[in-house]
Structure 1
Amino acid sequence: MTDVPAPVPARRSALLDLRVVGAMWWRELVRFRRDRSQLFGALSRTVLWLLILGFGLGATLREIEGYTYAQYILPGVVTLNVLFASLQSAIALVWDRQVGLMRQVLVSPAPMLSVALGKICGGASIAVIQGTIPLAMAPLLGVRMGAADLLLAWAVMFAMGVAITATGVILACRMRTFEGFGSISNGVIQPLYFLSGAIFPLKGIVGGVGFLDIPQALRDDLARYGVYALGGGWVVELPQWLRVMVYANPVSYLLDLLRLVLLGFSQMPLWASLGTVALLPPAAVVLAAWSMSRLRHA
């Protein structure tokens, strides 16, 4: 009898495999195409926040720094869709770990950096698609965009999607149930969104109705809290502790860069926004790949 050679264990490559990146990327897009409920969610958020909230509060808040309230929150609604889409893509990792593709990927020789990069880029692409829905309503708000503006907006949205999807992957690697991830994702989305300057400025002139009719005594009381009535508007400045939280939020810089592209208005230092968009996504991808690699030894 001849001896049968023992099977040689598959060797895991430490290099980046573009075929694996493309396969995982395409898989995320196919899953999105089959799940039309995500488009419905993006459309409903756009209608609720941009049209109802934008025009509803816009009846009282006439403008912020010369922009209508609906125009001011347009980049914020885009960011909200990107946040939801990115973390929703990361949620699938919890299911894949239990019964899906990830169980096979973890025992394959595929480089984990390639797996993570493909999944994250797929989630970021979906985020760009959902974030474009509010942009389609920009002409109705009086926001004009050229082809270059749209390409720059997509670039910022993709970078934001990469960073948030990678963050979601890091969280999902530590979760074992959908319920646990859902609670954490809601605890992530809401602080990132509300502390990003999406719905209120750090400091600026907010115009509305009835400013000139405010009694002087009430103006003096408001001044103690950083709110001043000046001409036809209020000069509003957030409390110091809240400003610190906004400045500590990385989404604030990505959103501000998006607002600069769409409206030509920003409140954050440009160097800080550019530094965030250049450094945060790659760092998040590396951490996500490291977190997924730990699953092989779990």
Structure 2
Amino acid sequence: MTAFSDSSPVRRALELDIVQVMWWRELVRYGRDRSQMFGGLSRTLLWLVVLGFGLGATLREIEGYSYAQYILPGVVILNVLFASLQSAMALVWDRQTGLMREVLTSPAPMLSVVLGKVAGGATVAVIQGSIPLAFAPLLGFDLSLAKVLMAWAVMASTGVTITAVGIVIACRSSAFESFGSVSNGVIQPLYFLSGAIFPLKGIVGGAGFLDIPASLRAELRRYGVYAIGGGWVVELPDWLKLLVHLNPVSYPLDLLRLVLLGFGQLPLAASLCAVTILPAIMLAVAARSMAGLRQP
């Protein structure tokens, strides 16, 4: 005896075969699009090498971490943002080519369609986010399997949220070109107002802590000492800190930095809520937006 009958509301709303097909289609699309892979690698090299080591020559450290180490979690999230919205952007193309019209006129449950597409977008986002993560050992990160798994979980949650946001935008976009401009207008504010480049408050530009042997630095961090000597304390203005706190991307980024570096500045409870509650909310909103496309 099965848990749900074929005529039950749950069965009608969730068809795992459809979820799997939509998920697999996103992976096939990603595998054929080498530009996405190139974009993920180029963004990683640009931000880590040019910004991380270029600006890092002036800002030697932030809270006892090299500047390249500090911005690595932000580069991971940046790749996740681009990959997620690019997966959602394909929905506009599908509507123009007629494939999505076939889906909309079929009896397929819209929740299953959205779940499959969002799952595919989140999977691609994790792959893209893993590109800068692969550079972590070269920057002095001590990665363990547990840290990598937790980082993937944060990436997947962020990928679900942002892909769902992209679907909502795509459902309201009539042209492929308009979605591109809107998505750029979404990615840049979310990224630059997330604390990816500068901390909310911290010791920046100092000299000394990174010159201490790594074993002693680790011991000092156990006692809450992250910086020593000639740095200066920077703090964002209140209005900018408010925008950072209102930015939903700030919380998974801070949680990812906490996982990889052990350093975070936002309330842990708020970050955990953001990576568990926001995906569910945005999934519901995306499913509702997709269902609206079926209305004449």
TM-score, normalized by the shorter chain, greater than 0.5: yes
* CA distance in 1: counterparts of 2:204 and 2:193, whole angstroms: 18
1:175 and 1:181 in contact (8 A); partners too = yes
The aligned runs of 1:159-198 (5 Å cut-off) are 159-198=157-196
Query: Larger radius of gyration, structure 1 or 2?
Result: 1
Among 44, 49, 52, the residue aligned to 2:50: 52
The aligned runs of 1:232-247 (5 Å cut-off) are 232-247=230-245
Corresponding position of 2:94: 96
RMSD: 1.5
Corresponding position of 1:29: 27
Among 117, 120, 123, the residue aligned to 2:118: 120
2:23 and 2:117 in contact (8 A); partners too = yes
2:13 and 2:110 in contact (8 A); partners too = no
For these two proteins, the number of residue pairs brought into alignment is 268
- The CA deviation string for residues 171-215 of structure 1, in whole angstroms up to 9 with x for no partner, is 000001111101110100000000000000000000247xxxxxx
What stretches of structure 2 of length at least 5 have no aligned partner? Answer: 1-10, 208-227
Deviation at 1:144, TM superposition (A): 1.2
* CA distance in 2: counterparts of 1:242 and 1:161, whole angstroms: 25
Deviation at 1:231, TM superposition (A): 4.4
Corresponding position of 1:68: 66
1:60 and 1:208 in contact (8 A); partners too = no
Corresponding position of 1:267: 265
SS in 2 for 1:293: helix
The aligned runs of 1:130-279 (5 Å cut-off) are 130-208=128-206, 231-279=229-277
Aligned AA for 1:59?
A: A
What stretches of structure 1 of length at least 5 have no aligned partner? Answer: 1-12, 210-229
SS in 2 for 1:61: coil
Corresponding position of 2:39: 41
Aligned AA for 1:293?
A: A
* CA distance in 2: counterparts of 1:274 and 1:89, whole angstroms: 25
* CA distance in 2: counterparts of 1:196 and 1:267, whole angstroms: 11
SS in 2 for 1:266: coil
Q: What percent of counterpart residues are identical? A: 71
